[in-house]
Chain A
Amino acid sequence: MTATLTRLERDRPTTVQDLRVRADWLRLEVIRMIDKAGLGHYSSTFSCAEILSVLYYRVMRLDPATPDWADRDRFLLGKGHAAVGLWPILSDLGYFPREDLDTFGYIGSPLGDHPDMRKAAGVDFSSGSLGHNLSVGLGIAMAARLRGSDHRTFVLIGDGEIQEGQVWEAAMAASHYELGNLVAIVDANGFIGSGPTSELMSIEPLADRFAAFGWHVIELDGHDVDALVTTFADLPAPGSDRPVCLIARTQKGRGVSLMEEAPRAWHVGCLTPEQRDDAIAEISARMQEVSA
């Protein structure tokens, strides 16, 4: 396993190649943590690995030394079950010691299967109950306007999560209040727990739906680091008058063939030692290729 990556500081010029490697580093860390814990959410985390990598290492205005800095950008993980993908990043950025990662999933750990803002530093809001965090992010974006802060609030939501009605209450209110400082990112991996959204409860046409609710909608490939970097760099100013929805088309289980082939099976689980080693080999080979 590659624990040898250089720590990438926020605001440091980070290349697209670095960010690609970072996403795969995250996948390796997730495999390692779930292996130790015995159970975890793989495939929903792998679908947003590039998004998390680009946000934390390139886009967001953060100061890990001052976690409660009022003007920091906020990140809310609406799809809280991907928390295992948040922990290695927050630790790497210095919010808590790397040793804490080894406690993941055990009683007393600050790091759970879903994020708890009272337990883990660097978590802007707890999540786990799907459909809440876009509303919470809306409140944070409103607070920024009231205080005259120009920070942004990013909320990463799942495409299954938007089946929750509360998401659309928030979508309605965000455009009513013209909150251009609110950015929703939909990790559109096409699955809910029991199967494909297209079969079980269609959410399409997703872009038209958010547009009809008054949002500025951008659709892109959520694994295309280049496109993510460019899109985030070109976001309308936080003072603009329409909330932004990035629909990131992604693949559940991305980056590990076994999971790409059976994404639903790997929503929650634990790889056997053999599967784990194969997955690590596959990811490591790709990282070397990208770095070469």
Chain B
Amino acid sequence: MTTTTNRAAAMEDVFSDEGQASSLNLLGHAMAELADRHDDVVVISADMGSALSELRERHPDRYVELGIAETNTISVAAGLAASGFRPYVMAFAPFGMIKCAEQIRTDWAATMLPVTLVTRLSGLAMGYFGASHHAVEDLAIARSITNLTVMTPADNYATLGLLEASHQSAGPVLLRVSEATAPVYSSVPELEPGRFVRVREGNDLTIIGTGAGVGCALGAARALEEQGISVAVLDAAYLKPFDVAAVLDAAATTRAILTVEEHSEVGGLGAAVAEVLGRNGVATRFGSVALPDADLEVGVPAELLERYGITVEGVTRKAQDLLA
């Protein structure tokens, strides 16, 4: 019995982030405020309506529930966008992005329509529910889609900033929300498309994080500082367009680059950084903290993240190895 109770308590991590309000509550509130500010915002839900009570109260006509039918939802949003609205689709990461990759490519990206997909429960946030609920390939798929802007907020403040930025985007956007984030910013950060945010200065090592990886990077940087290692931290809030200059600068100004992401090692942040280094003929020490290209374990998120080293401790160890 004790074990069962403990595991149930651990599962609360899925829906509430350590040290801050849950991203679900935050997003519900943020979507309502976005609709307050912009008359052209319509929020479309694929069974995510329980998070949207504020919006449903204030703008019932701009909340569209389409049920457990993600592919239809994506294409319906395209139709609304073709008629002048700025639709926001809220969906679970594995189903909104991975299942609907073709609809997103064809109906949003090839058409260059201003639609935003806000995915929750990305990475291993639903790791307990099995391989079907892992979303660890979504960034690789999204990055390969021409015209799609890819945003990965590091924390709740970044989510607010990127959500507003998505409304200015000329074309489609994936906004991939991480669950297990630690606070990185103390207010909404300045975010510029295609530019990483410099979260921390340092001379020995640059750690580039995306999503929850930024909080891990920051924690590791603080731990490493105590050991006399000076670490710069960059937030890859935009994975596409990608900040090539920031990667080259990191290679030129620090001894090594380490990337951190709650995503497969195939096609995500680490792969993007390696591509930049390779294409530019830059030789530097490089390491990545990411999920292996292998069948992943099933379990509660905190235990899975620990298992795969996507934690402050895991990143710290990896950084030490890289610099050794």
Contacts and interface: CB of A to CB of B under 8 A. Distances in A.
Interface of A: 70, 116-118, 124-126, 128-129, 132-133, 135-144, 146-147, 165-166, 169-170, 172-173
Contacts, number: 95
Contacts of A170: 72, 75-76
B17 interface: no
A139 B79 contact: yes
Q: Lowest 3 CB-CB distances: which A-B pairs, in order?
A: A139-B79, A143-B83, A135-B75
B128 interface: no
Tell me what chain A mostly uses at the interface: helix, strand, loop, or mixed: helix
A118 B85 CA distance: 18
B197 interface: no
B155 interface: no
A146 B62 CA distance: 8
B71 interface: yes
A166 B81 CA distance: 19
Contact of B82 (A125, A132, A165): A125
Contacts of A147: 83-84
B141 interface: no
26 contacts: A70-B83, A116-B110, A117-B82, A118-B111, A124-B82, A125-B111, A126-B106, A126-B107, A133-B75, A135-B71, A135-B74, A136-B75, A138-B76, A138-B79, A139-B80, A140-B82, A140-B83, A142-B76, A143-B82, A143-B83, A143-B84, A143-B85, A144-B83, A146-B85, A166-B103, A169-B66
B64 interface: yes
Interface of B: 42, 61-62, 64, 66-67, 69, 71-72, 74-85, 87, 102-103, 106-107, 110-112
**Residue among A128, A144, A166 facing the most chain B CB atoms (10 A cut-off):** A166
Nearest to B110: A126
Contacts of A142: 64, 76, 79-80
Residue of A129, A136, A166, A172 with most partner-chain B CB within 10 A: A136
B148 to A, nearest CB: 15
A139 B106 contact: no
A143 B67 CA distance: 18
A156 B84 CA distance: 22
Contact of A139 (B67, B77, B102, B110): B77
Given A128-B106, A129-B102, A136-B107, A143 B71 contact: no
B215 to A, nearest CB: 37
B69 A132 contact: no
B82 A139 contact: yes
A125 B83 contact: no
Nearest to B100: A166
A140 B106 contact: no
Nearest to A165: B71
Chain A CB within 10 Å, residue with most, of B64, B75, B84, B102: B75
Contact of A136 (B42, B61, B76): B76
A146 B61 contact: yes
Contact of A132 (B67, B75, B81): B75
A135 B75 CA distance: 5
A85 B194 CA distance: 42
B84 A132 contact: no
Nearest to B112: A118
Nearest to A170: B72
A170 B69 CA distance: 9
A116 B85 CA distance: 20
B69 A173 contact: yes
B106 A173 contact: no
A138 to B, nearest CB: 5
A133 B84 CA distance: 17
B129 to A, nearest CB: 23
Contacts of B79: 125, 135-143
B84 to A, nearest CB: 7
B220 to A, nearest CB: 44
A129 B69 CA distance: 17
A54 B62 CA distance: 35
A135 B76 contact: yes
Given A138-B79, A141-B79, 12 more contacts: A124-B82, A125-B78, A129-B106, A132-B75, A135-B78, A136-B82, A139-B76, A139-B87, A143-B79, A143-B84, A146-B85, A166-B103
A142 B102 CA distance: 22
A173 B67 CA distance: 9
Contact of B84 (A70, A138, A141, A172): A70
Nearest to B76: A139
B111 to A, nearest CB: 6
Contacts of B81: 139
Nearest to B102: A129
Contacts of B76: 135-136, 138-139, 142, 170, 173
A142 B85 CA distance: 11
A6 B69 CA distance: 47
A125 B77 CA distance: 13
Nearest to A127: B106
A125 to B, nearest CB: 6
Choose among B82, B110, B111 the residue with the greatest number of A CB atoms under 10 Å from its CB: B82
A137 B82 CA distance: 10
**Which of A124, A125, A135, A165 has the largest number of chain B CB atoms within 10 A?**
A135
A143 B107 CA distance: 16
B109 to A, nearest CB: 11
